[in-house]
Amino acid sequence: MKITRPSILFPLFSDVTSIPGIGPKIAANLSKKIGNNIIDLLFHLPHSVIKRLDTLELNNCPSHSIITKKIKINKHLPGYYNTAKPYKILGVCENIDIEIIFFNFRNDYLKSKFPISSEVIVSGIINWYNGKPQITHPDYIVKPENINEIPKFETKYPLSNGLSNKILRKSIHYALEKIPNSLSEWLPSNIVKKNKWFTFKESLKYIHSPKNIYELNLMATCKERLGFDELLANQIGLSLYKKNRTIKRLTSVKKNGRLFKEIIKDLNFDLTNSQNQCLKEINFDLNNNTQMMRMLQGDVGSGKTLVAVSAILNIIESKKQAALMAPTDLLSVQHYQYIKKIFHKTHIKIGLLTGKIKKSEKLKILNDIKIGKLDLVIGTHSLISNDVYFKDLGIAIIDEQHKFGVEQRNKIILKGHNVHLLLMTATPIPRSLTLTMYGDLDISIINEIPKNRLPVITKALPINRYNEIIEAIDRALKKGEKVYWICPLLELSERLDVVALKNRYKTLKAIFNKYNPVLAHGKMLKTERENSINDFLTNKSKILVASTVIEVGIDIPDATIIIIENAERFGLAQLHQLRGRVGRSSLQSYCILMYNKDINDLGKFRLETLRNNNDGFYVAEKDLELRGPGEVLGTRQSGEEKFKLSSLRDIKLLYKAKKTADEIVSNKLSNKEKNLNILLSIFNKDEYIKLINKV
């Protein structure tokens, strides 16, 4: 179904190329740099405002400040066009001699603008040079009677190449006129009143074109309202989507968790409270007659797999099939082996499907999935390829979900009818990002580490204490433990980084030859890399020298030391992920962050943060503060949601928007449907409009 935008919004969605007085080149630039539509210009907010007419006495104006002054013109000292010699105009202002300077301007133009003995108002940046004030290339030159031509408050915009502030201001002023006056308020009136907000149109006007000090001081309030609009549109969309999904009626089959109880009887540990809580939440979903869409977040080593296993068993108990998808062959195999081991007393049939399976074997597995002989299939992307048909898929679980795109997520739930979906991630996601990116999902969080684990001890050491590190490694190796040695391999400096990594491998090989160090990085053949990791896993090697290829999910419990060289070059969340490779058994583990002597303050702060905190969610929040959402989630995901008017760091406003959205969607707040259409349309959430009538 194609959605048509409410016609009242047509002017806002007309092309920027329609702005009069702007040539095709600038129009093209506008549409490329800022957006195609008038509304994109309006959402390009100024970063500051210059008060041009608010000038001190000339004598007190410091260099580099903007002044607007009336100057009596006394004399012209012409320069030469196209030479380095400037054209100087001498005048007097407040009894002080002042020079106005131009390079490469036409003499006749300057003569007409600055007639001798006349008074001219000039606005621009002042500089004191040998005790004399100068203004070079003033921004405004007007006759005293035309002082109104100089904006009292001049908005300054984030510029991009080829677009001057003047042009942006002009275009945006034109765009402001395009906002219909008859746009009705979509926000609930009590919220508008309580926050003393202005209308959408007024807010944009005061931000882009404040007429007086009063309007100027409204900037923050107006930005808040617009940010709220944007967040609200996002939250209403997610909320509508979620509501639409949860009204689906499934025939629920009561499961009593019999199979899972048998399994945990055999484990030599108890589940953590957090794990139990998550189990409860998941089982509630499964016993309900709605489709589960849940994300299970839990730091590395928090025991997510067992929680997934419980869901799998409940589905199998109700005679349906389960699928567990992981991003790599290695992880799939690890899950397969782990689950096979804990299922050994049951009659549950498990299959493994990866790109590596031999063709004949694959055909058999495909057939077994189709006829329902397999209860659980574990695998990579192979699980969503077109030749996979399930007899009756009941649940799909995706591990390390951030490695998969939305399409892949959708593809696996289409392998059955009303398939429950459980996403798992070891990347702790800050609250604000969870709400905005995954607001359509229910969230379960394991925020507890199994009791038998000792927290990893993190140390930051300068590279010149290398010898101590070698000794520490030697001691661990002698005890039979294993060591990761990580070096950065960044795209920008890839070639040098590979060389450094190989050199490190050589030196470690020279020192620890009998422990057979192996090398793994993203630039070597996949098979070679997998062989290395496998040797490390199976104890043929005790030292793995690697780039961040080992970041995701590998579970090698007897590795107890991770050295991260050039730690200052990694992001916080990434360092935390790497650290999670150790501390996966009851042995004391260490993470050693080695830094270079030229480390900057930010780098130091990052290492310090990590040294003092083992809590991944805390680290993730800090990472968000330092780097912004794009970096924290990785480019692919952050591209899916772009917020122009709101900062995801304003968590209070976000909560407010979520609450309002939930109230609107659950009809607790009366809100005319037409207005909701307009809000969603303005923020390009048209896809959700069709759900308004459905829920």
**Helix, strand counts (H, E) of the chain:** 26, 21
Half-sphere exposure of 658 (CA within 13 A, CB side): 18
> Please, what is the minimum distance in Å from the beta carbon of residue 21 to ligand ADP?
60
Of the residues 305, 436, 541, 614, which one makes contact with ligand ADP according to CB under 6 A: 305
- Cα 511 to Cα 378: distance, rounded to the nearest angstrom: 40
Reduced to 3 states (helix: H, G, I; strand: E, B; else coil), residue 481 is coil
* Residue placing its CB nearer to ligand ADP in the complex, 303 or 430: 303
* Residue placing its CB nearer to ligand ADP in the complex, 581 or 685: 581
Sole window of 166-174, 270-278, 473-481, 484-492 interacting with ligand ADP (rule: CB under 6 A): 270-278
Of the residues 430, 450, 603, 616, which one makes contact with ligand ADP according to CB under 6 A: 450
Among candidates 643, 640, 673, which has minimal Cα distance to 223?
Answer: 643
- Burial environment of residue 27 by CB neighbours within 10 A (0 to 12, 13 to 18, 19 or more): middle
By the 8 A CB rule, do 691 and 244 touch? Answer: yes
By the 8 A CB rule, do 617 and 593 touch? Answer: no
> Please, what is the minimum distance in Å from the beta carbon of residue 454 to ligand ADP?
12
Q: Which long-range contacts (CB under 8 A, 24 or more apart) does 359-368 make?
A: none
Of the residues 301, 394, 428, 629, which one makes contact with ligand ADP according to CB under 6 A: 301
Of the residues 126, 300, 357, 679, which one makes contact with ligand ADP according to CB under 6 A: 300
> Please, what is the minimum distance in Å from the beta carbon of residue 397 to ligand ADP?
12
> Please, what is the minimum distance in Å from the beta carbon of residue 426 to ligand ADP?
5
- Cα 332 to Cα 379: distance, rounded to the nearest angstrom: 5
- Cα 568 to Cα 611: distance, rounded to the nearest angstrom: 13
Sole window of 29-37, 104-112, 277-285, 303-311 interacting with ligand ADP (rule: CB under 6 A): 303-311
> Please, what is the minimum distance in Å from the beta carbon of residue 353 to ligand ADP?
20
* Residue placing its CB nearer to ligand ADP in the complex, 298 or 327: 298
> Please, what is the minimum distance in Å from the beta carbon of residue 416 to ligand ADP?
25
Tokens representing 179 are 């906002």
* Residue placing its CB nearer to ligand ADP in the complex, 313 or 473: 313
What residue has token string 């991770």? 562
Q: Is 271 in the site for ligand ADP (CB under 6 A)?
A: yes
Of the residues 269, 284, 389, 605, which one makes contact with ligand ADP according to CB under 6 A: 269
> Please, what is the minimum distance in Å from the beta carbon of residue 641 to ligand ADP?
26
> Please, what is the minimum distance in Å from the beta carbon of residue 255 to ligand ADP?
21
Q: Is 428 in the site for ligand ADP (CB under 6 A)?
A: no
> Please, what is the minimum distance in Å from the beta carbon of residue 420 to ligand ADP?
19
- Cα 250 to Cα 420: distance, rounded to the nearest angstrom: 10
Centre a 10 Å sphere on the Cβ of residue 270 and count the other Cβ atoms it contains.
11
> Please, what is the minimum distance in Å from the beta carbon of residue 457 to ligand ADP?
19
46 secondary structure, DSSP code: -
Tokens representing 78 are 């012409």
From residue 153 to residue 192, the character string flagging contacts with ligand ADP as x (rule: CB under 6 A) and all else as - is ----------------------------------------
CA distances from 241 to 230, 416, 417 (A): 17, 20, 18
**Angle 272-315-243 from CA coordinates, rounded to 5°:** 85
Q: Is 302 in the site for ligand ADP (CB under 6 A)?
A: yes
Count, residues near ligand ADP per rule CB under 6 A? 17
Instruction: Write out the E strands in 511-607.
Output: 518-520, 543-546, 559-564, 590-595
DSSP codes joined into one string, 280-294: HHHHHHHHTTS--EE
With residue 55 as reference, give the H or E element that holds it.
none
Sole window of 100-108, 301-309, 360-368, 496-504 interacting with ligand ADP (rule: CB under 6 A): 301-309
* Residue placing its CB nearer to ligand ADP in the complex, 303 or 439: 303
CA distances from 153 to 53, 208, 215, 353 (A): 8, 10, 10, 65
- Cα 610 to Cα 457: distance, rounded to the nearest angstrom: 10
The residues in 227-266 that bind ligand ADP, with binding defined as CB under 6 A, are none
> Please, what is the minimum distance in Å from the beta carbon of residue 283 to ligand ADP?
17
Among candidates 40, 35, 45, which has minimal Cα distance to 208?
Answer: 45
DSSP codes joined into one string, 426-453: SS---HHHHHHHSTTSEEEEE----TTP
> Please, what is the minimum distance in Å from the beta carbon of residue 278 to ligand ADP?
11
Cβ-closest position to ligand ADP = 303
CA distances from 538 to 363, 412, 532, 547 (A): 29, 32, 10, 20
Q: Is 555 in the site for ligand ADP (CB under 6 A)?
A: yes
> Please, what is the minimum distance in Å from the beta carbon of residue 154 to ligand ADP?
54
Of the residues 452, 467, 600, 693, which one makes contact with ligand ADP according to CB under 6 A: 452
By the 8 A CB rule, do 448 and 278 touch? Answer: no
> Please, what is the minimum distance in Å from the beta carbon of residue 257 to ligand ADP?
17
CA distances from 629 to 46, 311, 581, 621, 635 (A): 21, 31, 24, 10, 9
Of the residues 175, 306, 546, 664, which one makes contact with ligand ADP according to CB under 6 A: 306
* Residue placing its CB nearer to ligand ADP in the complex, 46 or 303: 303
Sole window of 61-69, 297-305, 568-576, 602-610 interacting with ligand ADP (rule: CB under 6 A): 297-305
* Residue placing its CB nearer to ligand ADP in the complex, 470 or 587: 587
* Residue placing its CB nearer to ligand ADP in the complex, 22 or 552: 552
Q: Is 398 in the site for ligand ADP (CB under 6 A)?
A: no
Residues in the chain: 695
Q: Is 426 in the site for ligand ADP (CB under 6 A)?
A: yes
Sole window of 87-95, 102-110, 296-304, 686-694 interacting with ligand ADP (rule: CB under 6 A): 296-304
**Angle 601-605-611 from CA coordinates, rounded to 5°:** 145
Tokens representing 28 are 């093209």
* Residue placing its CB nearer to ligand ADP in the complex, 169 or 482: 482
* Residue placing its CB nearer to ligand ADP in the complex, 325 or 676: 325
* Residue placing its CB nearer to ligand ADP in the complex, 68 or 401: 401
By the 8 A CB rule, do 1 and 8 touch? Answer: no
Of the residues 46, 86, 298, 394, which one makes contact with ligand ADP according to CB under 6 A: 298
- Cα 573 to Cα 634: distance, rounded to the nearest angstrom: 11
Centre a 10 Å sphere on the Cβ of residue 400 and count the other Cβ atoms it contains.
20
The residues in 580-619 that bind ligand ADP, with binding defined as CB under 6 A, are 584
Q: Is 304 in the site for ligand ADP (CB under 6 A)?
A: yes
By the 8 A CB rule, do 167 and 26 touch? Answer: yes
* Residue placing its CB nearer to ligand ADP in the complex, 296 or 648: 296
Residues making contact with ligand ADP (CB under 6 A): 269, 271-272, 275, 298, 300-306, 426, 450, 452, 555, 584
